[in-house]
Amino acid sequence: MVRKIFGQIYIWLILIFMYLPILVLIAFSFTKAVYVGQWTGFTFDLYRDLFASHDIMIALGNTLILAFSSAIVSTILGTTGVVGAYYLKKKYRKTFDTVTQIPIVNAEIVMALSLLVMVVFIDSLFFNGQGSLKGFWTLLIGHTVLSLPFVYTSVKPKLQQMDPSLYEAALDLGCTPNKAMRKIMLPEIIPGILGGFLLAVTLSLDDFIITAFLTGPGLFSEGDISTLSTYIQSIIKKRPVPPELRALTTIISILVVLAVIGISVYRSYQMKHKKTHAQARRGI
């Protein structure tokens, strides 16, 4: 009984320490005070100022484009990598899995520095060291390298849970490999793919080190790409964090909560549908 009480207290303390700062930011997104802790009256002005801020909107746009682009690429590469590794021989599959896990346990600063050295080497070899290689595409490669192992890790368990005889039976019944993959394999691993995609988006949104090392001119501008992380870092050197970012934090938090609820509802519906289908097949 005592252990149960202490366990519940511990869990509640962890939850409070995790979510209390977010709740404080959400509460103070409805006041125009520069510093958190000062309340100057309830207002929605920060949300209006957020969408009126050109610099924040540019940084947000760059961040979202980079996040979703890298997430799409890493999800495609990670999913195809999982499927390919699944049909390798056991010893080769273990080696492939081990190599894929190295970026997860490796320090991000090591990855960022190694990517920077590679970019500088290629730039000096083919572009005479003019620094023209750094930009959106190097950021896309860096963020893809960062999130790819996490997508692989998310999809792999779902593929291992699938009954391999289903795919083989589809081939025996006349399906082409591509059709069997779409009809049999893809529905089984789609939850892992969605989870890996959302994780890749989150990692890209959260990244600062790789972005700071590999940033360069954007696709449509000569200045360096400014993401939310680099924008905030450049601001706090000179002045306090703009209060409009508290409104942006609230919006992002709400969207994340809605995404998690949506995925949970989808998974619950999928499990219920599978259970109903299994009972129907057994004639219950």
Residue for token digits 């590794």? 85
- State residue 73's pLDDT score: 94
pLDDT tier at 221, thresholds 50, 70, 90? low
Of the candidates 82, 79, 105, which has an alpha carbon nearest to the alpha carbon of residue 93?
A: 82
- State residue 234's pLDDT score: 85
CA pair distance 32, 46, nearest whole angstrom: 6
CA pair distance 54, 51, nearest whole angstrom: 8
CA pair distance 70, 225, nearest whole angstrom: 15
Domain presence at residue 46: no
CB neighbours (10 Å) of residue 200?
Answer: 27
Domain presence at residue 275: no
- State residue 160's pLDDT score: 81
Domain presence at residue 12: no
* Burial class of residue 255 (count of CB atoms within 10 Å of its CB; 0-12, 13-18, 19+): exposed
Task: State how many domains the chain has.
Answer: 1
Domain presence at residue 11: no
Average pLDDT rounded to a whole number, residues 212-232: 78
- State residue 255's pLDDT score: 87
Q: Domain of 210: which CATH number? A: 1.10.3720.10
Query: Which residue segment(s) compose the domain that 145 sits in?
Result: 56-241
Domain presence at residue 37: no
Vertex 22: Cα angle to 17 and 23 (nearest 5): 95
Mean of the per-residue pLDDT values for the chain? 83
The residues, ordered by sequence, that sit 6+ positions from 49 with a Cβ below 8 Å of its Cβ are: 243, 244, 247
Of the candidates 83, 71, 248, 246, which has an alpha carbon nearest to the alpha carbon of residue 145?
A: 71
Each residue's pLDDT tens digit, 153-179: 888 888 888 777 777 777 777 777 777
Domain presence at residue 139: yes
- State residue 162's pLDDT score: 78
Domain presence at residue 266: no
DSSP assignment of 58-108: HHHHHHHHHHHHHHHHHHHHHHHHHHHHHTS-HHHHHHHHHHHHHHHHS-H
What's the token pair of residue 112? 């960022």
pLDDT tier at 281, thresholds 50, 70, 90? low
Of the candidates 233, 199, 236, 196, which has an alpha carbon nearest to the alpha carbon of residue 213?
A: 233
pLDDT tier at 131, thresholds 50, 70, 90? low
Q: Report the range of poorest mean pLDDT among 136-145, 153-162, 212-221, 227-236.
A: 212-221
List Cα–Cα distances, 206 to 66, 147, 242, 264, in angstroms.
11, 11, 18, 23
Domain presence at residue 33: no
Average pLDDT rounded to a whole number, residues 72-82: 91
CA pair distance 72, 157, nearest whole angstrom: 20
Q: Amino acid identity, residue 12? A: W
CA pair distance 69, 229, nearest whole angstrom: 17
Strand pairing partners for 241? none
